[in-house]
Amino acid sequence: MKAILKDFPERIETERLYMRPCRPGDGHDVYRAIVHSRDQLKEWLPFAIHEPALEHTEENIRRSYADFILMEDIRLHIYRKEDDSFIGSTGLHRINWNVPKFEIGYWIDTRHSKQGYITEAVEALTDFVFDYYEAKRIEIRCDPNNVNSRRIPEKLGFVLEAILRNDSVSVDGESVRDTCVFSKITK
């Protein structure tokens, strides 16, 4: 089946959260989260290097929504059930439908960090991808120095397969960095 014909549910739920595909109009919530969390995110994520503009954030979401429609990249927004607060983003990236395999990425509005939300979201997304899409492989990649990001796959039983040395350029373009490659595969 062609990727564009694959279905995706309206939302994935956990005990405290729900995740849904990004959609036009989400820009304001995402913009506020980036502005508040920028100092912590800019070391690791290119979109946080410069002060964001609301219009640019909304444009980025609409491009991500187009990728979602094509099923080329699946950006999900995470909300707290109790009050529908936007708390962060996750998603399925570098998708290879032939295997099928996926990479999970994530970031959190720092006002909601240290509460286990990202671990909860990534665990649910991992289970979903194995069950719903019958994934054979799921990866999480992160900088070895990003301790908070690295803890997520470690807590969830992903295997550290490799640390790719001098694998990419740092977000600020000043140095090269390493990349941890964690994975889970079907049993």
Q: How far apart are CA 130 and CA 149, in angstroms?
A: 21
pLDDT at 115: 96
pLDDT at 144: 95
Looking only at the bridges linking them, the beta strands covering 159-169 and 176-185 are antiparallel
> pTM of this prediction?
0.94
pLDDT at 137: 98
CATH number of 12-137: 3.40.630.30
Q: How far apart are CA 73 and CA 20, in angstroms?
A: 13
Beta bridge partners of 107: 89
What does the pLDDT profile of the chain (187 residues) look like in tens digits?
Answer: 788 899 999 999 999 999 999 999 999 999 999 999 999 998 888 888 888 899 999 999 999 999 999 999 999 999 999 999 999 999 999 999 999 999 999 999 999 999 999 999 999 999 999 999 999 999 999 999 999 999 999 999 999 999 999 999 988 888 999 999 999 998 6
Alpha carbon 78 to chain centroid distance?
10
User: What 3-state class would DSSP assign to 181?
Assistant: strand
Alpha carbon 125 to chain centroid distance?
10
Looking only at the bridges linking them, the beta strands covering 137-142 and 101-108 are parallel
Sheet holding 159-169, edge to edge: 12-13, 17-21, 74-80, 85-96, 101-108, 137-142, 176-185, 159-169
Q: How far apart are CA 159 and CA 187, in angstroms?
A: 13
Question: Which DSSP category does 52 fall into?
Answer: P
